[in-house]
């Protein structure tokens, strides 16, 4: 058991240390140093936003190649995977398409290139559905499944799903809806178009020379953020000073909400396979037709209707919804077919 004198001594030393600390932290006029400090506001570095155009030659239009592949990206170019670049685009959605089993579809099914790709059983099943129209791939899957099972009750569901997926490659681009397009990430062995776009932006070479200024990318300095178009070997990029990354996130969330609503109504889920609860649609056919007429579809080249566009139209529409000025959009690439066009995006939460 400790001696009483030791306890008293310890308490005395503790009190002395406390008194000394109190004297050190007390200024004249009895103002404590602990409450005399300066407040510094916390400011976060804003993420730069860019409108990019990939130099991908597409179809000839009036004798000139069009580079109509545009997208939006937030981040710092040339920083590799550390850039944290965020990709924003509206483009054709391969999993949200209408399917018409018409003469064009059957012609593509039976052409020489696909002659050995589709077994005779698959072709016969599709021919039995000739003349039918489907609002989504899940509806087509359901009808195809029923027809296929009548001819072969032993066929596995996985095989049917694989057959339906292969048939979706015959869908014309004009039947595909325009929705938010996402890059599939660094870990994917087969990067999609969006991921390839991001990697081009992240891996701009420091030695890539700007064709206009004659300066290396690493030497552009303030010119990079001046709003001028920076022409590089793979991309043309333009800094958008009047757009912040938060507005891009809000626009993306809004469009994803619209897509979710349409998926609920049309009973689709983006997997091409109907859910177990897939039933006949209870919404009147006229209402569904009105919805489909208001959902934009893909078209590579102009002229466009108000509900048609390509990836460049999608990027420009995304920026306009995020508050970008028209002059900033068109200045990036005046020859880019699609930037001038605004796609009418349907908001199901607003009564027309």
Task: Profile the chain (352 residues) by mean pLDDT over runs of 10 residues.
Answer: 49 51 44 42 75 71 60 91 89 95 94 83 96 95 96 94 95 96 90 92 77 67 78 85 94 95 89 76 84 94 93 95 89 74 83 58
Are 215 and 223 spatial neighbours (Cβ–Cβ below 8 Å)? yes
Residue 34, pLDDT score: 41
3-state secondary structure of 283: coil
Long-range contacts of 259-268 (CB under 8 A, 24+ apart): 259/96, 259/179, 259/180, 261/348, 261/349, 262/291, 262/295, 262/348, 263/96, 265/291, 266/135, 266/136, 266/138, 266/291, 267/136, 267/138, 267/139, 268/96, 268/136, 268/137, 268/138, 268/139
* Beta pairing partners, 32: 26
At residue 205, the pLDDT reads: 74
Give the DSSP letter of residue 155. Answer: -
- For residue 310, give the nearest of 126, 56, 80, 120 by alpha carbon: 56
Per-residue pLDDT at 256: 95
For 196, what's the count of Cα atoms within 13 Å in the CB-facing half-sphere?
A: 12
pLDDT given for residue 235 in this prediction: 85
pLDDT score for 68:
64
- What is the per-residue pLDDT for 21? 44
């Amino acid at each position: 058991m400790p001696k009483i004198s030791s306890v008293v001594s310890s308490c005395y030393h503790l009190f002395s240390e406390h008194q000394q600390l109190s004297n050190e932290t007390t200024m004249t006029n009895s103002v404590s140093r602990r409450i005399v400090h300066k407040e510094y506001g916390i400011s976060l570095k804003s993420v730069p936003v860019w409108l990019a155009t990939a130099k991908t030659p597409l179809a000839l239009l009036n004798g000139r190649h069009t580079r109509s592949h545009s997208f939006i990206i937030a981040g710092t170019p040339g920083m590799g995977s550390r850039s944290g670049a965020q990709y924003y685009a509206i483009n054709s959605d391969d999993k949200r398409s209408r399917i018409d089993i018409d003469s064009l579809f059957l012609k593509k099914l039976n052409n020489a290139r696909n002659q050995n790709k589709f077994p005779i059983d698959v072709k016969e099943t599709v021919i039995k559905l000739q003349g039918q129209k489907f609002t989504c791939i899940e509806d087509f899957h359901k009808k195809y499944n029923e027809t296929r099972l009548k001819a072969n009750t032993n066929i596995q569901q996985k095989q049917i799903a694989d057959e339906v997926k292969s048939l979706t490659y015959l869908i014309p681009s004009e039947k595909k809806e325009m929705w938010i397009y996402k890059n599939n990430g660094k870990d994917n062995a087969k990067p999609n178009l969006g991921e390839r776009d991001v990697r081009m932006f992240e891996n701009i070479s420091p030695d890539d020379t700007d064709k206009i200024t004659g300066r290396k990318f690493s030497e552009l300095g303030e010119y990079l953020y001046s709003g001028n178009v920076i022409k590089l070997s793979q991309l043309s990029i333009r800094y958008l000073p009047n757009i912040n990354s938060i507005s891009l996130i809000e626009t993306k969330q809004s469009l994803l909400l619209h897509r979710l609503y349409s998926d609920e109504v049309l009973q689709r889920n983006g997997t091409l396979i109907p859910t177990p609860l897939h039933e006949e649609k209870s919404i009147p056919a006229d209402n569904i037709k009105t919805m489909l007429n208001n959902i934009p579809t893909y078209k590579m080249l102009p002229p466009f209707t108000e509900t048609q566009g390509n990836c460049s139209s999608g990027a420009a529409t995304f920026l306009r919804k995020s508050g970008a000025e028209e002059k900033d959009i068109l200045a990036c690439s005046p020859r880019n077919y699609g930037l001038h066009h605004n796609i009418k995006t349907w908001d199901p939460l607003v009564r027309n």
